[in-house]
Amino acid sequence: MDWDGVECFAHGTEDRAPPSQKYKPFGKIHGGGETGHGGGLAMPPSTSVLELLECPVCTNSMHPPIHQCLNGHTLCSTCKGKVNNRCPTCKQELGDIRCLALERVSESLEHCKFYSLGCPELLPYFTKLKHESQCSFRSYNCPYAGSECAVVGDIPLLVSHLKDDHKVDMHGGCTFNHRYVKSNPREVENATWMLTVFHCFGRYFCLHFEAFQLGTAPVYMAFLRFMGEEDEANNYCYSLEVGANGWKMIWEGPPRSIRDSHRKVRDSHDGLIIQRNMALFFSGGDRDELKLRITGRIWKQLNPESMGLFAQPL
């Protein structure tokens, strides 16, 4: 949808507030289980498999061959040659004892496919696919709604993509002031008006403005999406305000994550919705031209579970 005029002003600052080897079985590795010769690997129920497989020397995840001392302390094959054949934990001689139990555990697990992006999880095959479908390190879809963009990536990549490829306006600060002018407001199409990206509190937010049909009625809608996960999005709130002639409409709530598609957010009506007649009323004059000024701000909640406590941008 072409616009006769769009102005955007962003104000404010970011938050200042707040191989010939002897094989020796290791025994059980279940919580409270016993170990093989010389001592125990008593694994409490709260101990994660990732911690269990962590080499005490290099802290990397251990893979076969995994070595152990007579007291059951383990380390990886790479580090075994660095400790002069002495256990780094109890200083006992290491010998050539293999920890078969941990080797089996290690061989039964695989890293999440998003390991290179930072996910540390080691998973059994039967839960790996489910985890990967929900992994917080998985790539994000491009949040631009004006086309079926197939680009995926992390947040820095998407920010650059939005700026360079979609020519999206980028603004710093936590407050904004948009003015929209449309010469023929009776032409309402299912099209995105505008996407603006704000950098605030060290995070990125996508501000959408759109015209579409809600049932048989044409409406205008504005909403905010957070470029990150839903749990972090809930740490923030935003407000949108439109008005004129002594009247105003205000929307306030947490932003949605870009994990939720643009259409999903729009169709859930999670944002400021302005009926066309009301939009024309706010425009003033003879109502032949749409002139909307929408202001808003973003702030961070000090305690997301206790609404009403906020860090206001200075």
Q: What is the pLDDT of residues 6-39, one digit of tens each?
A: 444 444 444 433 333 333 333 333 333 333 333 3
Beta carbons of 181 and 6 less than 8 angstroms apart: yes
Candidate from 25-29, 62-66, 222-226, 229-233 with smallest mean pLDDT: 25-29
Q: What is the pLDDT of residues 170-205, one digit of tens each?
A: 999 999 888 777 766 566 554 446 889 999 999 999
Nearest to 250 by CA among 203, 296, 305: 296
DSSP conformation class of 115: G
Q: Is 293 exposed, middle or buried (0-12, 13-18, 19+ CB in 10 A)?
A: middle
Q: What is the pLDDT of residues 276-296, one digit of tens each?
A: 888 888 887 666 677 788 899
Alpha-carbon Rg for the chain, nearest whole angstrom, is: 28
Cis peptide, bond prior to residue 254, ω within 30 of zero: no
Q: What is the pLDDT of residues 235-262, one digit of tens each?
A: 999 999 998 878 889 999 999 999 998 8
Distance CA 290, CA 38 (A): 82
pTM: 0.62
Domains along the chain with CATH numbers? 5-16+139-311 (2.60.210.10), 22-134 (3.30.40)
